[in-house]
Amino acid sequence: MVVLLLKRHRYLTTLVSSIILLLLYFQNSLLILSERSPCACHICVSDRKKSDWFRERYNPNVPLLLNSTNSVLHADVSRWWKGLQTVPNTSSYTKVVDQLFSLFPDKHHYSDAGPDRCRTCAVVGNSGNLLGSNYGPRIDFHDFVIRINKGPTKGYEKDVGLKTTHRIMYPESAVDLDNSTHLVLFPFKILDIEWLISAFSSKTIIQTYSKVPSTIKANKDKVMVLHPAFIRYVFDNWAEGHGRYPSTGFLTLIFALHICDEVNVFGFGATSGGIWHHYFEKTLTSYQGVHAGKFENEIISQLQKINKILVHMGRT
């Protein structure tokens, strides 16, 4: 009887020990999985664990681009976005969006993030601090090169590079693109989306608050339209309500935080002499206007401080 009890005791001890080891194993496995980096880069933009400031602002679930499954706007977003209209609006948003998806790709983009991906992006602004920088080869080395509005490459290749994978624009800043570049429309009004449709079809819209091109050379299979909810998100979470609405450059930078794993920023800010002008023209520019330029610059500086972006200051 005693021998039988001893055997049972040893059996129970072994069983309990095995269960404890298994629990420790699964606990460690879950810990490793939870600590696994969200991308294969050295530092991942979307990693929200190391900064409370970033985690409070960055929403990985915000819709970036319009498609037929997310095109219905929440009432507060619709009111805010339509409040930005600078020209009378007589069109139905729903009808315009229906026309949009009958002409351009209707699909989800950039849903391929993961621990095995390292997508590097260069966000290239238009600051005069690019002149003499010799950044061209460094910019072209990135997977994505995102340019803003009319910033040209021809004649400036040494400083700004040749490669363009995405061109951010609105009707008043439209330029022709090559067949490999994504046209990314930032719509600040319903008429902007109508212009895009017209530019690839009837070619009848030639005026918004200023003259706009009736057509544009671009690959219609690479057209994307920023979601109004994303514009509102940038205004609320990142610009914190400063200004009337975010600048195109600031919107582009936050957009890059959502589609890239590593973000390098070129051509933002003033020259080393404190002058604000575009690298392709001598006319002085303002970074305030309807935008909160000073506040946006502070946010950009904070993003660099916490290693979410690297800002290249240009020629010093």
Catalytic center residues: 245, 291
273 is in an annotated binding site: no
Q: DSSP secondary structure string, 198-226?
A: HHTTT----BSSSB--S-----GGGEEEB
> Looking at beta carbons, which pairs linking 177-181 to residues 24 or more positions away fall under 8 Å?
177/216, 177/217, 177/218, 177/219, 179/219, 180/219, 180/222, 181/218, 181/219, 181/222
156 is in an annotated binding site: no
209 is in an annotated binding site: yes
249 is in an annotated binding site: yes
179 is in an annotated binding site: no
Instruction: For residues 208 and 13, give the distance between their C-alpha atoms in angstroms, rounded to a whole number.
Output: 81
Question: Which residues, 6+ apart, have CB-to-CB distance to 291 below 8 Å?
Answer: 243, 244, 245, 246, 247, 250
126 is in an annotated binding site: yes
Q: Report the chain's terminal Cα–Cα distance, integer Å.
A: 89
59 is in an annotated binding site: no
Specify whether the CB–CB gap between 170 and 248 falls below 8 A: yes
27 is in an annotated binding site: no
291 is in an annotated binding site: yes
DSSP 83: T
Residue set of the binding site for substrate: 85, 126, 149, 209, 245, 249, 269, 278, 291
What are the binding residues? 85, 126, 149, 209, 245, 249, 269, 278, 291
